[in-house]
Chain A
């Protein structure tokens, strides 16, 4: 069975601080996809990144970076120099390689205070 654990329910930081959101996953598949989504108060999911299980390279996109480590089954997300607009719920998700069975973590609510 596929499972995603986001142990941090809520995180509060002050603007300009760096923050890391943890994601640990479980799967028996050898090929799979990992995702991060942002859900602002409006509710619409905003796609941030997709990573396949063969690609363990870390990725950086502006202030966002992702650390994928298969050895620890983790796919952590770091926001550098956080901003108030980063306040949202962030979901980590896991799907099989055909993207048929997407499972979401419980989400981490990030609040960035000015």
Chain B
């Protein structure tokens, strides 16, 4: 149980284009999902927290107009990187919190590696 998937696992896009990354909780409902970014050989940094049906909360320094987050259902959150640039190339990881568990544990997806050329 508690499986989180991400799609795509890898994506290459050209500078200036937009790319959408999906995060799904496969066997549980997630009222809250989190998006992290990990640059090569660095740690995971929380980008934003998304709650189902409401606007995402972004961490300081993360441009909300560049990283659009939509959490339209209890099992799906999407991150759209708009007008991507090479400096956006990174490993993006989502996590989801199980609504039904009192421990509020976060379950992590396998990550999406974005390369902007």
* A interface residues (Cβ-Cβ under 8 A, vs B): 37, 42-45, 47, 50, 91, 95, 97-107, 109
Knowing A99-B105, A102-B34, the reply to whether A44 touches B43 (Cβ < 8 A) is no
Q: Is the CB of A43 within 8 A of B113?
A: yes
Knowing A43-B110, A43-B113, A45-B93, the reply to whether A103 touches B104 (Cβ < 8 A) is no
The answer, among B32, B91, B95, B104, for a CB contact under 8 Å with A43, is: B91
Q: Is the CB of B105 within 8 A of A91?
A: no
* B interface residues (Cβ-Cβ under 8 A, vs A): 32, 34, 41-46, 49, 91, 93, 95, 97, 103-106, 108, 110-111, 113
The answer, among B103, B106, B111, for a CB contact under 8 Å with A44, is: B111
Q: Is the CB of A100 within 8 A of B49?
A: yes
Knowing A43-B91, A43-B111, A44-B110, the reply to whether A103 touches B105 (Cβ < 8 A) is no
How far, in whole Å, are A99 and B49 apart by their CA atoms in the complex?
A: 11
Closest 9 CB pairs of A and B: A99-B104, A44-B110, A45-B108, A104-B44, A43-B111, A104-B43, A106-B43, A98-B104, A107-B43
Chain B residue nearest to A97 in the complex (CB): B104
